[in-house]
Structure 1
Amino acid sequence: MRVRILGSAAGGGIPQWNCACAGCAAARRSGAHRTQDGVAVTGDGTAWYLVNASPDLRVQLVSAGDLDPGPGRRDTPIRGVLLTTAELDHTAGLLGLREAGRLDLTATATVLAALPLIPILRRYTDLRTHELPIGAPLALDGGLTVRALVVGAKVPRYADPCPDHRPDDAWVTALRIGDERTGRSFVYATCLPAWTDAFDAFLAGADAALLDGTFSTEDEPARAAGLTRTPREMGHLPIAGALPALRRHPGVRFLFGHLNNTNPYAAGPAPVEVARDGQELLL
């Protein structure tokens, strides 16, 4: 299995177009830019699945190489998109796929029902939506399977408030993608509000995991941006909060993505491995 990290930043990327904070200013000076969070996964090198579709998706696909179209004029190795949230930074890139001859979109029933882009996409392409089951494996092309675990209940701003919301709505999921031929597996959880027992069990035995690296510490939003909400209140476990749990999984390669522009680890030394745009994992 191959996992290509398409983007490693939180919403807005680094630098953000309208931000002159220290992190964005440093990124402009150094050219150390990061596009918004997402990965591409394949089991056989032919059939690829996108995990989320950021607003930067076109640039990410053009830069990837392995995701180029061909040999036919409209052939593409992309077999579908798996969504872990309904947030705009994970879904707005779907509009860039509207010229596909067919587009397979897999997400929880909660996300599919909320996503305002679905009726728009149906006007442009043969859109086929598939409900992502919770817990049970779903077969993908290329010998892969995916399992989902609900990890959060953060509602996108455009969908809140809504009187139809229920406490058990599956707004935010982690994915475990496995290769049936090799037994290797990869966990994607870049929006993780808490490290629960259920997530710990979901992660156990994986070969690699891309985790929530939005913030470095609990006080980062207040210290760097003057915000009153904590990372956990925004749906993100800070890296410092995850570190103790990593020791229980010594066989897992951990990377942190979805970095916010305030996170000093985006451009400086870090106590963990920080994902990079274009990085590839071979599992």
Structure 2
Amino acid sequence: MRLQVLGTAAGGGVPQWNCGCPGCRGARANPSWRRLHASLAIEAGSGQVFLVNATPDIGEQIETCAWLRPAGRSSALAGVILTDAELDHTLGLARLREADTLRVVATDTVRQAVNEILAMLEPYVTIEWLTFADIGAEAVPVSGKRPRYASARPPGAWVSALRWAGLLYAPAMGVWPDVTAGDAEVLFVDGTFYTDAEPLSFGQRTATQMGHLPIEATRGRLARLGTRCLYTHLNNTNPLVDPGSPLHEGLGVEVARDGMVIDL
């Protein structure tokens, strides 16, 4: 199995179109700071590639992944794995409507919610829903945070980490996943906000109230795991979007970069 990081940003990307914070200003002045929405390509077998989450950037992300270059009208895309039902992780499904059949892996809770917003695709593509077990993977619950459009729906497995072979991928994480360091060779972990108070600069809720454990609360524990850990899903306000920030020094955990490839 090998992985390509297709994006590492939280909702809105870096820069975000309506934001002039230091991170967005820096990304406009320095293209190397730019980050697409958090996503991952997993080559699970020869000619069989899964995308983890379908972001608004999915077309550009597919073009950056050599494993997904089509031959004629044939693609190696085997399906999309959804870790939650947020719009930032599902809107890209509409961009895949040219497929004859689109396989989507999700929990029942996520499937039922996303089915409603995918009704418009019925005339274009057949959606084949799979469970995590169908592909030999596991959904590990990490949060019960519902998307705003599903606020009236009951509690359930709204946000999961993907555990598959040597990978644990948890771009959004409200609680620690029920795994140990020995369960994975590489962990991608929620790095949305650096501090719990960071989102108060633009809203009224803290990071934990928004369903994201901040880096200040996770960095020590991750550094002690003894396995490779990388932060992903960085918000545009996170000071780590600046590669020159002194906060990178002594962090003890890698910050994932768009385009990086990891072999497991």
Q: Note whether the superposition's TM-score is higher than 0.5.
A: yes
* Structure 2 length-normalised TM: 0.92
In 2, the alpha carbon distance for the partners of 1:237 and 1:203 equals: 18
> What SS does the corresponding residue of 2:139 show, helix, strand or coil?
strand
1:146 matched to 2:137? The reply is: yes
Distance 1:159-1:203 versus aligned 2 partners, 3 A rule: farther
**Could you tell me which residue of structure 1 aligns to residue 261 of structure 2?**
280
Aligned to 1:51: 52
Q: Identify the residue that residue 41 of structure 2 maps to in structure 1.
A: 40
Map Cα deviations across residues 46-104 of structure 1 (whole Å, 9 max, x no partner). Answer: 1001110000000010121221111xx21110101110100000000000001112100
In 2, distance between residues paired with 1:194 and 1:104?
29
Does the 8 Å contact 1:10/1:214 carry over to 2? yes
Note if contact 1:187-1:203 (Cα within 8 Å) is conserved in structure 2.
Answer: no
Unaligned stretches of 5+ residues in structure 1? 133-137, 179-184
Q: Percent identity?
A: 42
TM (normalized to structure 1)? 0.86
- Judging changes above 3 Å, is the alpha-carbon distance between structure 1 residues 61 and 226 closer, same or farther for their aligned structure 2 residues? closer
- 1:259 equivalent to 2:259? Answer no
Give how far 1:266 is off.
1.1
Task: Say whether residues 1:190 and 2:194 are aligned partners.
Answer: no
Separation in 1, partners of 2:181, 2:100: 36
Q: What SS is found at the alignment partner of 2:63? A: helix
Deviation string, structure 1 residues 186-237 (Cα, Å, up to 9, x no partner): 1000100122xxx252553310011000011122223xx2433110110100
Give distance in 2, aligned partners of 1:205 and 1:165: 31
Q: Does 1:201 align with 2:179?
A: yes
CA distance in 1, matches of 2:214, 2:30: 25
Provide Cα deviations, 1:139-186, integer angstroms capped at 9, x if missing partner. 43xxxx3111111111111111x1x513xx1100011111xxxxxx11
Contact map agreement 1:257 1:275 (CA 8 A) in 2? yes
C-alpha separation in 1, matches of 2:221 and 2:186: 15
Aligned residue identity for 2:86: E
Contact map agreement 2:140 2:178 (CA 8 A) in 1: no
2:107 maps to 108
Mapped contact 1:10–1:260 kept (Cα < 8 A): yes
Q: Which residue of 1 aligns with 2:65?
A: 64
Matches of 2:90 and 2:242 in 1, distance apart? 26
Number of matched residues?
256
Match in the other structure for 1:165: 154
Is the CA contact 1:149–1:202 (under 8 Å) kept in the aligned structure 2?
Answer: no
Q: How far does the alpha carbon of each residue in 1:26-65 deviate from its partner, in whole angstroms, 9 at most, with x for none? A: 1100112110011010133410011100000000101212
**Partner of residue 218, structure 2:** 242
Mapping of residues 213-224 of structure 1, within 5 Å = 213-222=191-200
Instruction: Determine if contact 1:266/1:274 at 8 Å carries over to the other structure.
Output: no
* Alpha-carbon distance in structure 2 between the residues aligned to 1:65 and 1:267: 28
Counterpart AA for 2:68: L
Take 2:75 and 2:89, find their aligned partners in 1: how far apart are those partners?
21
Match of 1:175 among 157, 162, 178: 162
Distance in 1 separating the partners of 2:224 and 2:257: 25
Considering only aligned residues, what root-mean-square deviation do their CA atoms show, in Å? Answer: 1.5
On the 8 A contact 2:138/2:164 being kept in 1, the answer is: yes
The separation in 2 between residues aligned to 1:64 and 1:106, in whole angstroms, is 20
Amino acid at match of 1:39: L
SS, match of residue 43 in structure 1: strand
Q: Which amino acid aligns with 1:65?
A: A
CA distance in 1, matches of 2:181, 2:142: 12
Query: What stretches of structure 2 of length at least 5 have no aligned partner?
Result: none
